Chains A and B, each alone.
Chain A
Amino acid sequence: MIENQPETTSGIPLKLLYGPDDVPADIREALGSPPGRAPYLRGAYPRMYRDRPWRIFQLSGYGNPEDMNERLKFLLFEAGETGIIIKHDRMTDDHLYDVDHPEIVERREDVGLTGTVTVGLRDYETILSDLPLDSIYAKPGGGVPQSAVYTLPSYWSVATRRGIPLEKLAGTGQSDFFLTYLGCPTKEQIPPEAAIRFNLDLIEWCSERMPRWVPVSIAGYNAADSGLSAHQELGAVMANAVQYLDMIAARGKVDVERLAHRIGGVNFRVSMEVFEDAAKLRAARKMWSDLLGERYGITDEKARQMRIHVVTAGSAMTYQEPFNNIVRGTLMALFSVLGGTQSLGVSGYDEAMSIPSDHAHLMSIRIQQILQNEINLREIADPLGGSYYVESLTGELEQRGWEFFEQIQGRGGFLSVLDDGFLLECAEENNQRIAVGMESGERAIVGVNTHTIDDPIMDVEAFEGRSGAQTWEMAMERLADLRRTRHGRGAVEALRHLEAVCRDDSVNAIPAFMEAVSADASIGEIGNVLRETFGDWQVPISV
């Protein structure tokens, strides 16, 4: 009888047993370098979690700014989170729409369901009240580039108003192209060229005055959870980095070595394909270090170090029997740490139906705390190192990752493959394969297509926030109040200046965004400037 050849989700064939011959020579060599040394296969830092436990870093946000503030204080001061992430309403924030925009009004009940809704800087003051901005690590939002230039300046402006110097602030931006142009394209979006310009502005701005801030963060997660396989995620992340490095080198304001260090905070997805994905994190560090060393001649090892943030796969979380997702979250979290992540967000068990409830949020944190405290996981660096199986996967992913990278470069580079739909096609092809596997039962998901029961004894309700459908009305009142009570001429002048700066890419645009938010320009007014200046990017989607 012929046995079906088992393989990983990415298509790497699996053997029954692995041995020394399965470890490629260059992996064997890299194994000889300890953690904290290039090529960082074995970890980013010499003493790994003994010196610094991974950061418990959960995506959080819903409703009005008061709701957001309350949730952040709960997560930070009670639940024990060690950094904060402010998730904004995708409808208003990612699109830079005011809440009275026609696109929003007809969907008003959805406002606040995917994150917190802000109308301007005053809402950031509410979100951040009672939070010690000089001592916390924050990701204020800005997943998509056009939102980042509103969100980061708003967060920074609140700190400035409180008398906290910018250089004291610690945190990270995102401005991720995989989210924006592949995973979840918004209805209107500035084109990638404009986004690149803002990202380079952010990088330069932070290089000059914010030493503790990661200006942008490539988020492979969004590539992977929209369908790219593990090696494709690796190759695309490297191609994205090359795009930044080449373009900023061409601008000539920041040297490549300094820049490399600023973009070394990268996000990956860990899915239920846990061994492959733990190997992927290890391969990613090595590929990053090799790329910067070989392609750009960077000798400073510190500049070649990749620090990883992992989010566990939202797509792994099932709608059916949601408590099973706590087990899935635990497994994915464990292997994220075994792969050497620096920070971690575990998807809520209610991920398939809503943003996390308080309970689901706490559960995600408890999973991480149990791993940090109860199983001696923090004591050992790279516990998977030397496993014939894991090293074989690591080598295989690296090789396939570079092949995909070359494919992207051969098609004109990272921006080209976003624009011509190549990455979307790759993702769709994989999604189709996964869907067919689930349909046939070959890909088993407990409680969904195998071991199902009719009696829904694990029922969970979707979290709908505290103000429910009234969230929008409350935001409308704040917007009206903002327009009524601000210094109108000051806002108009700041927006006019912003537009002039946006049209002149020899100027860094960040100060003009800081001025606009400080003058109480609304989110939609800032969005209007960007839409008028840069136009709209069309999704090259084909189904």
Chain B
Amino acid sequence: MSEQGSTPLPPARVLVAKSSLDGHWRGVAVVARALREAGFEVILGGMLRPSEMASVAAAEDVDLVGINVGGRVEVVERALDEMEAAGVGGVPVFVGGTVPPQAIPRLTERGVGVFPPGSSLASIVEEARRLTGRDSSGPRL
């Protein structure tokens, strides 16, 4: 779908993981595929604990973390805290899934983009490009 040759930057690495243990993978798979087709290198983490998200993000040297939320935002906030503690607090995070609407401001205040069910894949890819600095030179979806 896309050509990497024209871009001066290497493909951005994105960790995609689920914060809760609910097992729904459908949305994650669709988003992961869209990111891949847009030229991102996607690392699928599966259902990771907040501390595991931080350690995988650090070990894999990712440029972005995408979290599927199937529960409360406190768990996402814990992942952000763990990432700071692991020295990868500067890696941007965006989330999708069944995020409680009333809790969205808590995440946006910490700079986390929120993509609830029904969000277009183009908008998700665009945000991933912006967050990883691939928006002007990167490949197009």
Contacts and interface: CB of A to CB of B under 8 A. Distances in A.
Contacts of B21: 90-91, 94-95, 103-104, 107, 110, 186-187
B83 to A, nearest CB: 14
A226 B120 CA distance: 19
B120 A439 contact: yes
Nearest to A105: B49
A462 B22 contact: no
Given A95-B21, A185-B23, A106 B32 contact: no
B90 interface: no
Interface residues of A, number: 45
Given A319-B116, A462-B100, 16 more contacts: A102-B49, A103-B49, A106-B49, A106-B50, A106-B75, A107-B20, A184-B24, A187-B46, A226-B25, A226-B26, A320-B116, A352-B116, A353-B98, A427-B26, A428-B29, A439-B122
Nearest to A90: B22
A183 B50 CA distance: 23
Contacts of A91: 20-22
Contacts of B24: 183-184
Contacts of B33: 432, 543
Contact of A107 (B34, B49, B122): B49
Given A109-B72, A439-B121, A439-B122, A90 B101 contact: no
Nearest to B75: A107
A377 interface: no
A106 B26 contact: no
A107 B100 contact: no
A477 B74 CA distance: 21
Nearest to A355: B98
B117 A352 contact: yes
24 contacts: A90-B21, A94-B21, A106-B50, A106-B75, A107-B21, A107-B50, A110-B20, A110-B71, A183-B23, A185-B23, A186-B23, A187-B47, A319-B117, A320-B116, A353-B98, A427-B26, A439-B120, A461-B100, A461-B102, A462-B101, A464-B72, A469-B72, A541-B29, A541-B44
Interface string A431-444: 11001001100000
B98 A354 contact: yes
A448 interface: yes
B49 A541 contact: no
A318 interface: yes
Contacts, number: 123
A449 interface: yes
A91 B47 CA distance: 11
B26 A109 contact: no
A459 B20 CA distance: 25
Interface in B6-27: 19-26
Interface in A87-118: 90-91, 94-95, 102-104, 106-107, 109-110, 113-114
Given A107-B19, A107-B20, A187-B47, A435 B30 contact: yes
A89 to B, nearest CB: 9
Nearest to A541: B25
A459 B101 CA distance: 9
A445 interface: yes
B70 interface: yes
Contacts of A329: none
6 tightest Cβ-Cβ pairs between the two chains A and B: A110-B71, A184-B23, A462-B100, A109-B74, A106-B49, A91-B21
